[in-house]
Amino acid sequence: MAKPTDRPTQHVAIVGGGAAGMSCAATLVNHPDKFKVTIFERNEVLGGQATSTALDEPKHGASWMNNGVQGGSKIFKHTFNFFNEQGSPPQEVKLQVSFGKGVDEFWTNVFPSTLVQKHASDIRRFGRFLTIIKWALPLIGIIPISVMLRLFFFKKDFGDKMVYPLIALFLGTGNQTASVPCGIVERLFNDPNMKLWDYDSSTLLPNLPTMYTFDNLHQFYKKWADYIKDRGANIRTRAEVCTVLSRSKTGVKLRIKNLGNGDITDEDFDDLVLCTLADDSLRILGKEASWRERFVLNGAAFYDDVTVTHSDAEYFEKYYETHFQQELCANPKTEAQEQQITFAKGSDSESKGFRPMYFTHTYKENPRLIEMSFNCSNYQHQLVKGQDTKRDHIEPVYQTIFLDKKQESLWTIHEIDETKIIKRNSWHQLGHKWQHYLRVVPGMMFLNGKNRTLYAGSWTLVNMHEIACVSGIAAAYRLGANYNKFDEFASKFFAKYLLLSHGLSFSREERRRTRNSG
């Protein structure tokens, strides 16, 4: 890739207006003397999977809800920084989960359950298991978590009912959870730059960890787009990049279709940033894809899921534990557990009781296959507020995610009352299988920067909004933009991603740039 100083202004084409594409553009427009930026987005609105849905406010307590992306943890520093810059700060919530149904299947992080007490020894051993993986990471890190659990003689029920649902919550891995590398699981529990919360030796998942919900994502991305356009970027929605016609040392030629009027144009750019899914990127590259790109990008596996947003309380309560029930509760063994039960009952004056946000339902035919749901009225801050102020008149809003269309025969989707359905969405989601971390993740550094092309998106590492943002910033940095050091934790996170996906040492690159500028 040519150095930024080769041309007075680089015209950069960014394909995809989701978190990665917008982060890349937002970083590049800080240097109007260096970069001319054009974003191509085939949809009418920006944000990718981070979208919002309109609601009937008198019926549900708010006029909108976020769809596709619900929230994040304290490690989402770059995401929160962009939100704060646009006057849309995230809102703090305490995470409550409800896994399984019935005394023998159910557990939560809110109060002690029979299942947690039953697997107390496995939970304690799981901490030692994570430590062993940490020290042997280079040798065994790629082995699927399901294999490692068997090798360490964990009970099958412990994996099926506790570990796999929790990993699905971490990564959104759905029905590919058992194939996730054990090294990724260890990192998500122990790595300060990756973990969502700490491992708990008594309950596996800590009691009520802090999470954050996002402001109206549709409005946020609209404000963000205006901010980027005000700084000179050209954002073209309903514009599809059909194919890459050529790539050379001097630039990239793209064929672009205007989906509004059908016009097709061939346009030249200096550099290309593909902020699209791996399979979409390969389709766009077409015959221009190198053998390396075909090998690495074909290693990313995607699955077709369906999300149904609805208000069918009868369906929801059939498959999930939604309220505190004494029979679900194990006998407290400590004062802390007694306090947790008091909280869950709502008998504490400061408590709103057991109001779970995240749920899983496992199929009896195959307990490693699940459906995931959210009670959005207990999770998204605007719905929580509406429910609290108008509780007697509000219908809760749920989202149920049906995973992997190939398993459609197991889905309970047809049991949802059609009159209660608010919206259906189809998603093309990454599967975090062990092959992804053997082939795709380590291969990205050998693609980025070649043939005047860079890649960004959460699929390059882990399916999180934060990774999408960091990947877009990293692509801009690789082109010559500066990295804004606003937080020490964020800088370390960025440096690790830059090394992994671009093969660049952040500190060494910063020293080089300092010398060159001097």
pLDDT in tens, 121-162: 999 999 999 999 999 988 898 999 999 999 999 999 999 999
Domain chopping of the chain, boundaries: 10-50+217-288+451-516, 57-63+91-213+303-431
- 10 vs 36: CA distance, rounded Å: 6
How does strand 358-363 pair with strand 398-402? Answer: unpaired
In the structure encoding, which two tokens stand for residue 483, read together? 């990295």
Q: What is the DSSP string of 310-335?
A: E--HHHHHHHS--S--GGGBPPP-SH
- 231 vs 35: CA distance, rounded Å: 11
- pLDDT band of residue 391 (cuts 50, 70, 90) is low
pLDDT of residue 5: 46
Q: Tens of pLDDT along 35-45?
A: 999 999 999 99
Q: Tens of pLDDT along 212-243?
A: 999 999 999 999 999 999 999 999 999 999 99
Range list of β-strands (E), 100-223: 107-108, 210-213
pLDDT of residue 176: 80
What CATH class has 10-50+217-288+451-516?
alpha beta
Q: Which of 436 and 26 is assigned the larger pLDDT?
A: 26
Lowest mean pLDDT among 141-150, 301-310, 426-435, 447-456: 426-435
How many C-beta atoms lie closer than 10 Å to residue 297's C-beta? 25
pTM of the model as a whole: 0.92
Instruction: Give Cβ neighbours of residue 216 (< 8 Å, ≥ 6 apart).
Output: 52, 64, 66, 88, 382
- pLDDT band of residue 4 (cuts 50, 70, 90) is very low
- 57 vs 383: CA distance, rounded Å: 9
- 472 vs 156: CA distance, rounded Å: 40
pLDDT of residue 173 exceeding 70? no
- pLDDT band of residue 2 (cuts 50, 70, 90) is very low
- pLDDT band of residue 517 (cuts 50, 70, 90) is confident
Would you give the DSSP letter of residue 102?
A: S
Residue 327 buriedness (CB in 10 A; 0-12 / 13-18 / 19+): exposed
- pLDDT band of residue 102 (cuts 50, 70, 90) is very high
pLDDT of residue 297 exceeding 80? yes
Would you give the DSSP letter of residue 413?
A: G
For 457, half-sphere exposure in the C-beta direction (CA atoms, 13 angstrom radius) is: 28
In the structure encoding, which two tokens stand for residue 149, read together? 């659990």
Angle between helix 164-171 and 182-190 (nearest 10):
70
**Complete edge-to-edge strand list for the sheet that includes strand 91-94:** 71-72, 210-213, 91-94
| Strand, coil or helix: 89 | coil
Residues β-bridged to residue 360: 99, 372
Would you give the DSSP letter of residue 160?
A: I
Q: Tens of pLDDT along 79-91?
A: 999 999 999 999 9
Read off the pLDDT of each residue in 472-488 and give the average, rounded to a whole number. 96
Q: What is the DSSP string of 442-496?
A: TTGGGTTTGGGEEE-SGGGS-S-HHHHHHHHHHHHHHHTPPP----HHHHHHHHH
Average pLDDT in the chain: 91
Lowest mean pLDDT among 166-175, 325-334, 407-416: 166-175
pLDDT of residue 389 exceeding 90? no
pLDDT of residue 518 exceeding 80? no
pLDDT of residue 196: 73
